[in-house]
Amino acid sequence: MKKVLLLAVLALLSLPALGERIGDYLVQVAISKDGYLTVTEELTLAFDVPRHGIYRRIPYSYTLPTGEKYKLRVWVEEVLADGGAVPVKKYREGRYLVVRIGDPNRLVTGEVIYTIRYRVARALRVYGEEVELFWNAIGTEWELPIAHAEVTVILPPEVPEAEVRTQGFVGPWGSTTPFQLAFGEGKLTGEVRGLAPGEGVTLAVRFPKSCVSLPGIGASLIWFFQDNLYAAIPFLTLIGMTVLWWKKGRDPKPGSIAPNFTPPRGVGPAEAGVLIDDKFDPRDLSAGILGLAVKGDLVIHEVWEDERGKNPDDFELEKTDSRLPLTRFEETLLEDLFPGKDRVRLSELKYKLYEKLPGLGALLYMDLSEKGIYAGNPDRVRSLYRGLGLGVAAFGIAMGVLAQSLYLGAALATSGVIVLLFAPIMPRKTRKGVQVLREVLGLEEYIRRAEVERLEFAAAEKHFADRLPCAMAFGLTEVWTKAFEGLLSRPPDWYDGRFPTFAPYWLGWRLASFHRAAQAAATSVPRSAAKGGWRGGSGFGGGFSGGGMGGGGGGTW
């Protein structure tokens, strides 16, 4: 029995005291020229039992359908009790600014008139050529009945009466019962009697946006980032990846580059091409095949089906045996080019060779890493960051859907894209690797300048052939072959072509066709492989009581 009585007492204490009510609730909302609101609330409270005072809960934070946080800026300027000063405590509680009025060491009874004046920014929203105030003048969260409520909205003096549109709603949250507003002398007024606890008044007012000066894009962006800290994630990701690249991905400076006519020891044409841009591509493959030809491991034959054509219709590779030592990459490339036979056309390798490219690239990267040229396998480093970037982007998309937050999802997805963009430049060369790169760049500069006029005729052929595969890797085949005009009288032994009169320029032209054919073979892929208040809405065409900004409620304490 004692427990029942105790529960009953606690239940009664948790409810508003019998007879507590708001006699008059007067609200004035003044819209200034700068787009700010000045809200003045005057509440007449009747305390039939002793209380310390009242508390007012003003909502300021809202979540839009996109997941974006939209926060009002609220500044409480003045709080009075019966026209005089009164102790006030302000604090934030969730999405509310709570204003607790009264002395914790003093109780009051009878009738007290409380005045609360506060300033609000960001309450006006732009819709086309209009701005709208969608405002809960009296919130639907009051615990006390309201005998009489009166609402006044003062518009900027420049607003023409004919261009003002209004709507009002009264009742509990979600009610669409109209609230009548009268317009005169630049202000809107309306009143209602007998609001029960949980009932309120919401207004929607539209007028031309030219009548107010809204905050600029700078202030809006600052507020947006303050309200949505996750929007800074892409910027933090960019900064973080830049720092990470600076410490882990940036190559040591190569220093000055001097022309170097000697290919770096232990670095073939395909490796040289990889060192230039840190990736293995079809041009490096073509250079690797040409390197095998120069070594004597294969012969390139032109295939002509149209006798009147300007370029060969195809190229046939014939396997030979030079007995020279080959790298793992070169051995594997030979096996991939000649799968069980000694002659193959490049056209026959279409839809087959593309499957071999990842493995060939992996061998090159492994060799370069084992030689101490890269700090880690470039392919694995890129794959790590690509995987991380794709994972973050996918997580962002999932968050955007599951958390119903478009902006959070976009921020994470953008961060993932940033990581993906950094992936190609994250492989890092060692100091030894930069030294080798300097030699490769020196060779590239030598081939670009092609200063071969003083070469003896007998030495020209070997000098030309030894550097030709690297010239192809650098994209300088035409430059290198043109430089030997008058120095070469016959095609090299490893190239079987049809020349009306041999000239190095013709060989360069045919090798360009060879590269295109090899690239087509390497890249041809078969088809088969391939409730809480405002939610960002308007008060027109869907408004209701409690659906705007502001409002909230309160009670006694």
- The answer to whether the CB of 415 falls within 8 A of the CB of 392 is yes
Q: pLDDT-based confidence at 15, cuts 50/70/90?
A: very low
pLDDT recorded at residue 506: 81
Residue 543 is predicted with a pLDDT of 57
The pLDDT value given to residue 240: 94
Q: Return d(Cα 144, Cα 21) in angstroms, integer.
A: 5
- pLDDT of 39 above 90: yes
CB under 8 Å to 274, separation ≥6 — which residues?
280, 284, 364, 365, 368, 378
Per DSSP, 135 falls in state E
Q: Is the pLDDT of residue 306 over 50?
A: yes
Q: Can you give the residue range of the structural domain that contains 137?
A: 23-214
Domain contains 180: yes
CB 28 within 8 A of CB 154: yes
Specify the DSSP element, H or E, that contains 59: strand 53-59
- Count other C-beta atoms under 10 Å from residue 243's C-beta: 10
Give, as one character, the DSSP assignment of residue 149: E
54-87, pLDDT tens digit by residue? 999 999 998 887 778 889 999 999 999 999 999 9
In this prediction, residues 183-208 reach a mean pLDDT of 91
271 phi, psi to nearest 5 deg: -60, -40
Report the CATH number that the domain containing residue 204 is assigned in CATH: 2.60.40.1730
Cα(243)–Cα(249) distance, rounded to whole angstroms? 9
Residues in the chain: 557
Condensed to tens digits (0 to 9), the pLDDT of residues 347-375 reads: 888 878 888 888 898 888 998 898 899 98
* In the predicted structure, residue 518 carries a pLDDT above the cut 90: no
Assigned domain for 11 exists: no
Tokens read off for 338: 């000649």
DSSP 3-state of 365 = helix
Angle at which helices 457-473 and 269-277 cross, to 10°: 40
The model's pTM is 0.67
Q: Identify how many contiguous H helices and E strands the chain contains and give both numbers.
A: 13, 23
pLDDT digits (tens, 9 = 90+) for 380-421: 898 999 999 999 999 988 887 887 778 888 889 999 999 999
| pLDDT at position 299 over 90 | yes
Give the residue carrying structure tokens 């892409």. Answer: 234
Q: What are phi and psi of 182, to 5 degrees?
A: -105, 140
Residue 67 phi, psi dihedral angles, 5° rounding: 95, -5
Mean pLDDT score, 445-460? 72
Q: Which residue has the tokens 């300033």?
A: 119
Q: How far apart are CA 66 and CA 423, in angstroms?
A: 30
Is the four-CA dihedral 340, 465, 288, 312 of positive or negative sign? negative
Quick one: which of 114, 24, 109 has its CA closest to 78? 114
200 inside domain: yes
In 296-377, where does DSSP find H-type helix? 328-337, 357-370
Rg over alpha carbons for the chain, rounded to the nearest Å, is 40
**What pLDDT, in 10s, does the model give residues 118-131?**
999 988 988 888 89
Q: How much is the pLDDT for 9?
A: 40
In the block, tokens 């909205």 appear at 153
pLDDT at 539: 55
CB-based contact 410:229 (threshold 8 Å): no
Residue 316 lies inside a defined structural domain of this protein: no
Across 189-226, b (16+ Cβ under 10 Å) vs e yields bbbbeebebbbbbbbbbbbebebbebbeeeeeeebeee
DSSP 167-235: EEEEEETT--EE---EEETTEEEEEEEEEPTTEEEEEEEEEEGGGS----HHHHHHHHHHH-GGGGHHH
Give residue-wise pLDDT tens across range 465-485: 899 999 999 999 888 888 888
Phi, psi of 88 (to 5 degrees): -135, 135
Does 360 fall in a domain? no
Overall average pLDDT of the 37-59 stretch: 92
- Distance from C-alpha of 102 to C-alpha of 81, rounded to nearest angstrom: 8
Structural domains in the chain (count) = 1
Starting at the edge strand found earlier in the chain, the sheet holding 37-51 runs 73-81, 108-121, 37-51, 21-31, 146-154, 187-195, 182-184
Q: Which residues pair with 142 in a beta bridge?
A: 554
| C-alpha to C-alpha distance for 94 and 207, rounded to whole angstroms | 32
Enumerate the β-bridge partners of residue 202.
136, 169
Mean pLDDT of the region 100-120: 92
Average confidence (pLDDT) over 204-213: 89
Q: Which residues contact residue 318 at a Cβ distance below 8 angstroms, ignoring those fewer than 6 apart?
A: 298, 299, 301, 342, 343
d(CA 231, CA 61): 17
pLDDT at 379 over 80: yes
Whether 80 contacts 53, CB under 8 Å: no
Residues 6 or more apart whose Cβ sits within 8 Å of residue 335: none
Q: Does residue 111 sit within a domain?
A: yes
What is the pairing mode between strands 343-345 and 177-178? Answer: unpaired
Residue 40 domain flag: yes
Provide the pLDDT for residue 378.
Answer: 87
Domain for residue 87, yes or no? yes
Question: What would the two tokens of residue 371 be?
Answer: 């030689």
